[in-house]
Every structure is written in structure tokens, then in C-alpha cells.
Structure 1
Amino acid sequence: MDETSVPTTLPDDDASETTSGGDGKSSDFIEAFQWRADDNMVALRFRSGVVRGFSGDALHAIHAKDFAMVEVYPWRRSVFFKTTRGDGFSSRFGSRFNSSPLRDRPVVYLDQNQWSTLSKSVHAPWRVQSDDELKAAWRLIGLASSGRVVLPLSAAHLGETGSFGNDEGRYELAVAILSCSGGWQMRDPLQVRAAEFRQVLARSSGKPAALVPDVFTLEPYAALDPATREGSSPRKDHAELPAEWTYAYTASLSSMVYASMMLDQQATPRGDMTGWVQRVQEFSTWLSGETNRTKQQRRRAAEVFMFSDATREIARASFDAGLSLSEMSAWTQSTWHLPELGAPAISLFRATMIDKLLGSGRWEGNDLTDLFYLCTAAGYADHVVGERRTIGLLEQSVRRLHAPVKLHRTLASVVDALSSEQ
């Protein structure tokens, strides 16, 4: 087939399968590209029925071992996966010009325990704690499947699911997350914090301030930190594909990386948080023993501790934003002690961490992950659902900072809230 019949551009917004190009020869346009495990080939399938194949190693076979088939529909902006066990799910992607087409749909961020409830509602409904939660789980799955709400996955979900030791349970949980998230991700919290710091620091000195990138997005690899993203993304474009199709190809690889991280039969070991827990526990214990200090003095001490944790982030953001040392110092002295920094994720995380430090409770390894991701989500999502203890702690910060997010301890609560908003 003559390569001039391949469309040179994709529409900026979602298009139906019947979209045709300027020459009107819709039957000559690429309908999909597909990889199948049985022949290890990547094939371009044209609407005329013609199929043109090339070597399957271009698809990064290391990420394809859990799939029987991967089929990408660029005109629909979707990729369909069929696992080697016969389960199928689809993932959406945006365009180069609009990678986050939310269209005013509510974003609901689920903590890992809530994703587990969704998985159980499909695979083991008798294990769901109540009929109300079971019905709410089914309702939420329906809302996500129909595109009426967005349930983003995050790197925390990728890591916690991948480290799950129960092979069957991990597979079921992974399929539930991949099916319901549909390609939507929460951007890596470290990148959100970096962007927020750059913005508030630039504004403090009257310099141009770039916007914080979309936190909930279909952008390829957005959930991963840059180091992981660099190791997972393709290092070069493939000459066999039209250049204008590279974004769709990259998006499909991104979805495949996420799926393989969770579906891999070998559990991924979790990072060791012992050093962090020990340091925070020691400070919290010391702070609770300072009974001669007022509560306000103990809070200021906790603020200083939190500043020490963020020193590198602030210094890097100041450099990137073009601030001098004196300008950075001026911002620190005039702003860090304020309840609201003009940075939703940073403000909520700092406030919630300080409340927990003042509470002199016991710290555990998953506390940092829970607070880091839930506070970032709470800064930008419409609803956040998590376990009772963490949501109770976060509620104090949300009230104090007047954050617009709605917090929930159960799926039934968030489904009721969504129903009242419609």
C-alpha cells in the first residue's frame, strides 16, 4: 500500500471510527495497530482490510508478556488489552494538544483499600463488608465504565498492587484498577510539588509563573517519577510508524507499562521506609515530651521540621524559577509559617503532617505514602475516599484550609454525594 494513503494527522479531539481524511478515501486509512502474542508481530490494519506487519520487538516485549493481544485504535483514542487469562480492558489517551480532557467530570481518588473493595465486589462479593458498600461499588464501577466519573490510578496503586503477595488477588485487583481507571492517572506527587513550589516562589518575586500541569491526566507516564519514566518509555521512534502516530504508540506503551507492573507474577518488593519512620518517630516523641512549651511553640517546631524536609525541593524550585538566594530567603521567612501557601498539595501535606506530629502517635512505614498521595489528591480532586484514620486526620487540614474537596470513609458516602451533584 502506498504510504501516501496513511493519514498524516489525528483529530485534536475524540473522533468516531467513521472519521475520514481530506481525500475521502476512508477505506485506505489506518483503523488500528495490533500486537498478538501468537505471532509476535505488530500490524497496521487499514479500513480496506489490508494489513501491513513489522517486527514485534518494537513493542517492548518485556512489557507484553502478560497479554495475548494489544490493539490500539488511534481514531478512538483507546487501546484494548486482552490478558493471557482472557480478561479484557480498555485504556483511553488524549491528544498531543489536549492530554487531559476531563470535560467537567468529577474526579474521585480512591485509596488502595477502596480499590480492593471494588475488586472484591466483582470477584468475591461475599467478602465486601456490607450490602451498602457492595451496591455502591457496583454503582461506582458503572459510573467509571460509562465515563461519567474519573477514577485515576497513581504510582501508589501501581506499587502497592505490584507488591501484593497473593497472585490471584493481585491479578484481580490489577484488572479492576486498570479497567476502572481507563487510562486516567494522578501525576507523580513529587512533580506536582515541584511545580507548586516553582509557581509560588516565582510569584513571590514578581517573576513569570508557569501553571501547575494537569494533576489528573491521560498523559503517557504521568504517574511515574522522571527516573522511572525514563527507564520505561521508548528511547526512540520507530521508522515503520508514521511520525504523527508516535503519540498514540507511546500512550499505548505507557498503559502497557502500568499493566505489566501490576500483573507481573513476581511481586515487586516495597521500598524500605525504616530510616524515615525512625527519624519522624524520634522527632514526634521528643515534641510530645516538650510539656514546658505552648501548643503554638510546638507547632512552630513542627513547621521547622517540615521545612527541613522540604529544603532541597525549595532550593531546586528557586533555582528553576530564577530566584536569588536573598529572594528565596525572603519567601521562606515571610510565607512558610502561613497556613496556606497558595499551593494546595504542599499546604495540605504540611498541615496534615504537623497535626500527626503534634498528636504524638505511632508512625508506620505506609504513613508517608498514604499522606503524600491523599494530600496531593485532596488538593485537586473533587472527592477522596480512604481509610477512617487517615481521612479523619486529613479532615482537620481540609477544614482549616477551606479546601473544596469532599472526603469520604466509604464508597456508599461518595456515591451518595455524586448522586446529589447530578
Structure 2
Amino acid sequence: MSSAHISETCKQVDVEQRYRRALTIVRLSAGWQLRDPLELRRLEIRQALTMRYRDRRLILPAVVTLEPNAIQSGRIETVPPADANLPLQAQWAIRTMAHIGGIVDVMLDARHVPMISADGWAAGFQRFASFLRDNPTAREMKRRRTHAKFIADIMPELMEEAARAGVTPDEMTDWTLNHSEEDLRSMAALGLFREILHEKLSDGNLRWEGNDLVDMMYLTAAAGYCDHVVGERVHTSHIANGLRRLVLWPGWFTVLWVVLAGQAGETVSDPAVWGC
């Protein structure tokens, strides 16, 4: 499960429907969590910078894991530490069960918790999409423009991860101008996010919504690292097109199952994408 599952479930008003949905997620996930996409993006950036400018590869944490609070990347730590006299494995097990128990309790709770949408973020990209539509260019120039917009959007993350990787300002400038496009193709989550961003920006008539940021971040993280992804047809279509433009490691693949919007419980049995 991911923190998006929690948010999407907790915002439901229908108590019975929410309970069934939450129980299904809990049973199927068995406590396994998708690491926070915000952390995954940063790890991918740090890995790319370290490999290019320091010629070494980092040992990154597991993406799908039982690690306590991986779903929030440890940002919200409210569970008190286990007894220090216990063996380390017992301490870890106690923290893990406490965190999973908290997640289950939140999801099964009947209290409605509305999601906060990123309306300002969506409005900015809506304006940029309109600009691209009203100022048409050749395909290559359009891609350069959408790439520049993408880099500007993730600049705070880039700067922080460059500092963590020990990359100099000159090296960061070199990467942004000369290597970012190439290196993004090997980033399973952020690279796919960038491709979907390009596709959506290329359609000036497409309407950007406040929940697009959450949908794009979590679906691209899941499609980048998981075997199966569930999403609405419009999202899975963008992901499928993005995957075709990416060059990832041999044997990497994803399967997308399409859920028909407005028809609860009704799914398409054929996968939208096989292999990549």
C-alpha cells in the first residue's frame, strides 16, 4: 500500500464503501508498503548525480518494504521507541507492527478526512500548456520547453540532492544543461513522471486538476517499481505512452490494469500494457 491509498480511502464519505475498500487494501498488502514517492524521486536524483560525477553507485533502500513508516519516509514519527533491552530484531518487529496497526486503524476509521488538492500547481501548468498551444513550435523545441518547465518544478529537490551528493554548482549546471534528459531515462519513477508531464503539456486543451499531482506522483512510482498498477483509463494511457519513450534496464516491465471510471467494481480483464 502507499500513502495515496490512505488519502484516497480516508476522503470517502460513504462509511460502508470506505470500510470495504480499506479492508481489501489491508488484506492484499499484508503490511507491505510502497516507499514515499517524494523520497524515491530524491534517491533517484542523488543516484544519478553520484554516478555521473563521483563514479560510484549508492546502495538504495528497498522500494517495496516492511520497513516501519516507509510509507511516510519517516517524516511523521509518533510511535515511541521499543524497550532498548529487547533484541534488535524484536525492537524492529514492535515498531513495524505499531506502524502497520496505526495505518490500519486510520483507514478503517469512519471519520471523513478531505484531501488537500494542489490547485496552484495545476494552475501553473495549465497556463504553461496554454502558452505552448498558443505558441506552436516543432516537436523538438516543444520537448525542450516542457523539459525546462519540469526542471524548474523540481529545482528545490535538485539543489538539496546535489548538496547531499557533494556535487558542485558547476557540475549541477552541467548536469541540468547537458545530461539531465539522458539520466532521467534511467529513473523509474521520476523519468516516467517527466514523460507524463510532457504528454499532458503537449495537449493544450487538456484540463489540469488539483489532484493531478498526487495521481501522477504515485502512479508513476508504482508503475516504475511494481508489477501491477491499477488506475483509470486516462492515467494508464499516459503511463503507457511514457513507457514507450523510456529506455529502461532489460527485463523491466509493468502491467497496467484499467479500471472503468464510473463503474465501480467493473474492470477490463486485458492488461493495457505488457512489457517495455
TM over 0.5: yes
2:224 matches 1:390: no
Structure 1 residues 226 and 287: alpha-carbon distance in aligned structure 2, compared to 1, 3 A threshold: farther
Structure 1 residues 326 and 165: alpha-carbon distance in aligned structure 2, compared to 1, 3 A threshold: same
Deviations 1:337-361 (A, max 9, x none): 3384421111110011111111121
Deviations 1:267-316 (A, max 9, x none): 1121132211211111111111113x222212211110000011011111
| CA-CA distance at 1:223 after TM superposition | 1.1
- Work out whether residues 196 and 212 of structure 1, in 8 Å CA contact, stay in contact via their aligned partners in 2: no
2:173 matches 1:329: yes
Q: Which structure dedicates a bigger proportion of its chain to helix?
A: 2
In the alignment, the residues of structure 2 paired with residue 161 and residue 380 of structure 1 have an alpha-carbon distance, to the nearest angstrom, of 22
Which of the numbers 320, 338, 341 marks the counterpart of 2:182? 338
- 2:63 aligns with 215
- Work out whether residues 156 and 373 of structure 1, in 8 Å CA contact, stay in contact via their aligned partners in 2: yes
- 1:285 aligns with 130
- Work out whether residues 82 and 94 of structure 2, in 8 Å CA contact, stay in contact via their aligned partners in 1: no
Question: Which secondary structure state, in structure 2, belongs to the residue aligned with residue 344 of structure 1?
Answer: coil
2:154 matches 1:305: no
Question: After TM superposition, which residue ranges in structure 1, 4 or more long, deviate above 6 angstroms?
Answer: none
| CA-CA distance at 1:183 after TM superposition | 0.8
2:258 matches 1:413: no
- 1:182 aligns with 30
In the alignment, the residues of structure 2 paired with residue 183 and residue 163 of structure 1 have an alpha-carbon distance, to the nearest angstrom, of 21
- 1:53 aligns with none
* One-letter amino acid matched to 1:235: P
Structure with bigger RCO (C-alpha 8 Å, 6+ apart):
2
| CA-CA distance at 1:407 after TM superposition | 2.4
Question: Which secondary structure state, in structure 2, belongs to the residue aligned with residue 202 of structure 1?
Answer: helix
In the alignment, the residues of structure 2 paired with residue 237 and residue 383 of structure 1 have an alpha-carbon distance, to the nearest angstrom, of 35
Residue correspondence of structure 1 range 252-291 to structure 2 within 5 A: 252-291=97-136
* One-letter amino acid matched to 1:177: I
In the alignment, the residues of structure 1 paired with residue 195 and residue 183 of structure 2 have an alpha-carbon distance, to the nearest angstrom, of 7
Deviates further, 183-192 or 397-406: 397-406
2:93 matches 1:248: yes
Q: Percent identity?
A: 33
Question: Which secondary structure state, in structure 2, belongs to the residue aligned with residue 386 of structure 1?
Answer: strand
2:202 matches 1:358: yes
- 1:319 aligns with 163
- Work out whether residues 382 and 406 of structure 1, in 8 Å CA contact, stay in contact via their aligned partners in 2: yes
In the alignment, the residues of structure 2 paired with residue 357 and residue 328 of structure 1 have an alpha-carbon distance, to the nearest angstrom, of 26
Question: Which secondary structure state, in structure 1, belongs to the residue aligned with residue 62 of structure 2?
Answer: coil
In the alignment, the residues of structure 2 paired with residue 298 and residue 243 of structure 1 have an alpha-carbon distance, to the nearest angstrom, of 54
2:20 matches 1:172: yes
Structure 1 residues 388 and 243: alpha-carbon distance in aligned structure 2, compared to 1, 3 A threshold: closer
Please, which runs of 5 or more residues in structure 1 have no aligned partner?
Answer: 1-152, 418-422
Q: TM-score, normalised by structure 2?
A: 0.87
- Work out whether residues 117 and 211 of structure 2, in 8 Å CA contact, stay in contact via their aligned partners in 1: no
- Work out whether residues 39 and 73 of structure 2, in 8 Å CA contact, stay in contact via their aligned partners in 1: yes
2:80 matches 1:235: yes
Which of the numbers 343, 353, 378 marks the counterpart of 2:223? 378
* One-letter amino acid matched to 1:220: P
In the alignment, the residues of structure 1 paired with residue 140 and residue 89 of structure 2 have an alpha-carbon distance, to the nearest angstrom, of 58
* One-letter amino acid matched to 2:41: R
Deviates further, 311-320 or 259-268: 259-268
Deviations 1:235-283 (A, max 9, x none): 3333685654111111111111111221222111211322112111111
2:200 matches 1:367: no
- Work out whether residues 34 and 65 of structure 2, in 8 Å CA contact, stay in contact via their aligned partners in 1: yes
Structure ID, larger Rg: 1
Structure 1 residues 209 and 402: alpha-carbon distance in aligned structure 2, compared to 1, 3 A threshold: closer
- Work out whether residues 385 and 411 of structure 1, in 8 Å CA contact, stay in contact via their aligned partners in 2: no
| CA-CA distance at 1:200 after TM superposition | 0.3
- 2:264 aligns with none
Q: TM-score, normalised by structure 1?
A: 0.58
Question: Which secondary structure state, in structure 2, belongs to the residue aligned with residue 227 of structure 1?
Answer: coil
Question: Which secondary structure state, in structure 2, belongs to the residue aligned with residue 269 of structure 1?
Answer: coil
Question: Which secondary structure state, in structure 2, belongs to the residue aligned with residue 407 of structure 1?
Answer: strand
Deviations 1:316-350 (A, max 9, x none): 11111111111111111211233844211111100
- 1:66 aligns with none
